[in-house]
Every structure is written in C-alpha cells, then in structure tokens.
Structure 1
Amino acid sequence: MKEATQHNPIFQRTQDFGAAPTDVRETDHYQYEYVHDFVERWDDLIDWDGRAASEGSFFIDVLKRYGCQSVIDAATGTGFHSVQLLKAGFEVASIDGSPQMLAKAFENARQRGMILSTVHSDWRWLSRDVVGRYDAIICLGNSFTHIFNEHDRRRTLAEFYAMLKHEGILILDQRNYDALLDGKSAPNQTPGHKYYYCGANVTAEPEHVDEGLARFRYTFPGDEVFHLNMFPLRKAYVHDLMHQVGFQSVTTYGDFQSSYKESDPDFFIHVAEKSYREANVDRDADKS
C-alpha cells in the first residue's frame, strides 16, 4: 500500500517536482501538483467573498446575453463558479481532472445548501465522460494553461467544441502571459491578486518564466509554499487555435473590461462562439 500511495496523487500531501522543477513540463503532472494540503488552502487564496465582489456578475451577464441555460464548468476547482451559477439558476455540470478538487467543491457546495453534479474527467476525453450537449462551457482559473502539449490543447478545444450546442459559447481565461514574457507587467504588482486571488496574507507570483514554462509560487501564512507549473500561452496563439478548431468569433476582455491596454490586465477572458452571432458581439471588446 505504501508503494501505491507514492504514485497516486490522491494520497499525496506534499508536492514533488524532483531535483529540477523547471524541467517538469508535462500536462499530466498537474494531478501531482494539486495535492491534499494545497487543495485545502486553495480557498484561502481565492477568498470567495473577495472573488465575488471583484468579478461581479460578469460571467452570469455573458451567459445570459447568449441565452445560455446549461453550462459545463470544466475546471471546477473548489467550486466557486459552479456555486455562483447554480445560485443564478443555471444547470451546471461540474468537471475537474483532480479528484481532490472535486471532493472539496462538493463539500463547499453542500455547506451552502447545494448539491453539485460532479464528474471526474480529463478534458481530452470529455465527450466520453459527459452525456449531452450544453449551451456553454466555462474553463476558468488559468486552468487551460496546465496543458503543455499542442496536440492536447487542440484535442481539448475540439472536445469543448463538440460538447457545445450549435450556438453555444466557450468562456476560457488565462493569465496575461504576454506581459510576463515581454517584461511589461506592472511594477510591484502581484499578478492576479487584484481580481482573481483575493485572499489576505497570501501571494501568487511567478518564480520562473520562459517561452515554455511559467512556474508560480503560492505562499500562505506560516510560510507554507506550493508551486504550479504551467505553459505561458500568448493571447494571439489562443485566438488562432480557437479559430482553427472551428470557433467562428473570439471576443477578449481584460480583467472583465472590454477596453484595455494590452500590458495592463492580469487576466484575459476569451468568449468564443461556435457559430457567429453578430448581435451578441460586444463591439468595444478585442475581437478576432
């Protein structure tokens, strides 16, 4: 049993990136990064009340604008957005590749009087694990950048595309890796802390960035430290990939705003339409 637990992420309590952490550039390694102790601290990083105040009704407004009712929350995490959408009256399927995260999300929802419909699934085989077609898929929390292999990124977006109804939309966010890679991030500013990671006395900051890896350090009170290794996707590349997979229009917001200077936002939020619907496009937002 001891040998099995060493290789099963469900039982791990501490992260292990080996002797050369910046050499770990594999999609499947995320399962070993979201260990039990990190998941238990994740809500301290997010701060649900702070996150709700910072993003307001942005995602709910977008979904309603497109007439969506059924939604796949493809990166459920600890359940924040699934709970927000359920409270707003949407039908939600909560998906995550981390069983630890799903367990935490289910408990968080239960404490708030809700029952999540959870599915443990890898995005690359989403249609195998989830039945039906949905009006929208959301993939938030910079989660898409856990994918290091381009073939896997294409396959994931193709799965998302296939799971959407004809006029469905995909909402996918990412850090502003362009600013990080080009050295244009705002000085003395912790990336993502203003809108996304609202917890007090916690930090989420880049420890290493190159064209093939963004390694982030998460520090909690008591000097407890965790890391995530992610691929630094440039915005233009994501747009192009979405179009190649079949999405007809992609509208991008910067920190929930339709107008922004490219280097300013911490996060980009892409709204990709499966079929083009001009009436629903915000003309002030960055489009491609």
Structure 2
Amino acid sequence: MTRRLLEINEQDYGHNPTEVRETDKYKEEYVGSFVDKWDELIGWDARAESEGSFFIDILKERGVERILDVSTGTGFHSVQLLKAGFDVTSVDGSPVMLAKAFQNAKQHGFVLRTVHADWRWLNKDVHSAYDAVICLGNSFTHLFKEHDRRKALAEYYAVLRHNGVLVMDHRNYDTMLDNEFKTKHKYYYCGENVSAEPEYIDEGLARFKYIFPDKTLFHLNMFPLRREYTRRLMQEVGFQRIQTYGDFKETYKADEPDFLIHVAEKEYLSEEERDEQ
C-alpha cells in the first residue's frame, strides 16, 4: 500500500469532486507530485519569518520539552522545534509526506524520529507521554465526521502528560462561510506566485485549489471548522483552558485573521477558575 501511494502522481476525485467528503481521502490526496511541490507552497523561509518565535514561546512558557508533531507534513515545524532544542517525534498519516519530511530534516542536519499513524488510533502506534501535541497547517480539517474529530482529540488528550498542552490551528472558515474568501496568504502559505484559494465551500466542505507557477493544479477537500465549534469539542474531550489567537495575535476582529490557533491546556481547573475564563 505504501509503495503504491508513493508512486501515484495524479489526484482522483471521481465525477463529483464536491461530494467527496471522507476522512480517509487525505491518504490519496497527497500524491507524490503534490508533495514534491508542498515546500514551494508554504515557503520555509517566509513562513519562519512570519511565525517568528510564536510557537516556541508558547511551548517554552509552559515548560514543554517533549513534543509530538501529529501533522508533520514535509517537516517544517518539526525542524524548527528541533532547532530550538525540543525533543520532537513526527507523525503523519501520509507515508509520502513522512518520506519528504525525513529528507528535509536530513538536509537541515537532523535525523527525524517518524511514526506513520492515523490520529484516530494514535496511541496504538505512539506509546510515550508528551508535554505537547501540535497539529498545525490546517491539518485537522481532513476529518470529515464529528466522531472522527472527537476520537482524534481524545487520542491527543491521552498521549499528553497531566499538564500537557495541545496547539492546533485551522483557517478562519467562519469568515469564508459567512462573508467571502479574502486571505492574502500573509502567514501560512507564503510561496511566491502560488495561489491557494477555495474553489467551493459550504457548511460541510471547503474544496481548495492550489496553482503553482508552472500552472500545475492540485486540490484538497477539507471540512470547514468553525471557531466556537472547535473550542467546544476540545472542552468536551476534557481540555480545561483554551486560548485562541488570530494570526499570532491575542486580540483581533473576528473576520481579520487568515488562521486561528487554539492553545488548549489539559491541566485541571477548579470550578472557580473555569468560571473566570
């Protein structure tokens, strides 16, 4: 199966692409030819500059040492965190992405510790406890069913130490659904002359198209997570304190950010502390 996925280079959504709303589809979406261009899409240098030390500071403030990067993709955040001195284990559900991440890390002087795992059964393949789980790059939106989202969050929760933290982001889908798509990919997608925008969106699907300078075209079908819905799911799974940033800022107008970043802490709060949130 892994060899077959590594060799496939064309995406296939059938005759009705907007009807493809399956969690497992992501395994076929990240074909080799798309993964080869992924770093061109995100632009490592520009992304590092736009993020600054935001994630490093968030993690260090909470005394984090061991991190599980559950959506490593081509390895950008894993490499940045390794450079900052963290102990990182990198996970992805796509073997094609993991292979690329390992290659990228090697070019930066690191041997990446990788695990091929599905989030819904994360603890079947990951057996250690971590201070933090990060799920970045709009990755959680690959889960189309609510029971899949709840299961994945529960797996994140279980792999964390008693005072662990989950850092997870997603696009500002509220603005896309309620207004219109206005992102300038100022933060996350920084590749030069690369277009990343929705081709179709409704309450159950955000279908993005990615056009590269050589005119090659790829798509991703994702679930449009709303801000308050995501926060509620985290709380219902057990996370106690949740702070949401907009494009790395604590205060922002609802329709301004391109991305929302949730920092969810596991440490137990008293009733009084919960009432103060």
- With the length of structure 2 as denominator, give the TM-score of the two structures: 0.95
> Which residue of structure 1 aligns with residue 169 of structure 2?
173
Q: Which amino acid aligns with 1:238?
A: T
Q: Among residues 35, 56, 70, which one is paired with 1:60 in the alignment?
A: 56
Q: Which amino acid aligns with 2:52?
A: G
> Which residue of structure 1 aligns with residue 103 of structure 2?
107
Q: Is structure 2 residue 225 aligned with structure 1 residue 225? A: no
* Contact in 2 for aligned 1:82/1:92 (Cα 8 Å): yes
Q: Is structure 2 residue 235 aligned with structure 1 residue 243? A: yes
Q: Is structure 2 residue 251 aligned with structure 1 residue 259? A: yes
Deviation, structure 1 residue 9: 2.7
For 1:114-263, what aligned pairs fall within 5 Å after superposition?
A: 114-186=110-182, 189-190=183-184, 193-263=185-255
User: How many Å separate the matches in 2 of 1:154 and 1:222?
Assistant: 39
Q: Percent identity?
A: 62
Q: Which amino acid aligns with 2:105?
A: A
SS of match in other structure, 2:5: coil
Deviation, structure 1 residue 82: 0.3
Deviation, structure 1 residue 10: 2.9
SS of match in other structure, 1:94: strand
Q: Are residues 277 and 184 of structure 1, via their aligned partners in 2, closer, same or farther at CA, if it must alter by over 3 Å?
A: farther
User: How many Å separate the matches in 2 of 1:277 and 1:130?
Assistant: 27
SS of match in other structure, 1:208: strand
- With the length of structure 1 as denominator, give the TM-score of the two structures: 0.92
Deviation, structure 1 residue 217: 0.4
SS of match in other structure, 1:131: coil
**Runs of 5+ unmatched residues, structure 2:** none
**Runs of 5+ unmatched residues, structure 1:** 282-286
User: How many Å separate the matches in 1 of 2:269 and 2:263?
Assistant: 12
Deviation, structure 1 residue 184: 4.8
Q: Deviations over 1:212-247 (max 9, x none)?
A: 000000000121000000000100000100000000
Q: Which amino acid aligns with 1:94?
A: S
> Which residue of structure 2 aligns with residue 284 of structure 1?
none
> Which residue of structure 2 aligns with residue 14 of structure 1?
10
Q: Deviations over 1:232-276 (max 9, x none)?
A: 010000010000000001100000000100000000000000014
User: How many Å separate the matches in 1 of 2:46 and 2:27?
Assistant: 27
User: How many Å separate the matches in 2 of 1:66 and 1:255?
Assistant: 20
Q: Which amino acid aligns with 2:213?
A: P
- RMSD between aligned alpha carbons? 1.8
Q: Is structure 2 residue 20 aligned with structure 1 residue 24? A: yes
> Which residue of structure 2 aligns with residue 86 of structure 1?
82
Q: Relative to structure 2, which stretch is displaced further, 177-186 or 84-93?
A: 177-186
Q: Is structure 2 residue 38 aligned with structure 1 residue 42? A: yes
Deviation, structure 1 residue 11: 2.3
* Contact in 2 for aligned 1:185/1:264 (Cα 8 Å): no
* Contact in 2 for aligned 1:184/1:263 (Cα 8 Å): no
Q: Which amino acid aligns with 2:89?
A: A
Q: Which amino acid aligns with 1:11?
A: E
Q: Which amino acid aligns with 1:146?
A: H
User: How many Å separate the matches in 2 of 1:141 and 1:246?
Assistant: 23
Q: Relative to structure 2, which stretch is displaced further, 30-39 or 177-186?
A: 177-186
Runs of 4+ in 1 over 3 A off after TM superposition: none
Q: Which amino acid aligns with 1:65?
A: E
Q: Which amino acid aligns with 1:29?
A: K
Q: Deviations over 1:115-163 (max 9, x none)?
A: 1000000001111101111000000000000000110100000000000
Deviation, structure 1 residue 185: 4.3
SS of match in other structure, 1:10: helix
Q: Which amino acid aligns with 2:27?
A: Q
Q: Which amino acid aligns with 2:25?
A: H
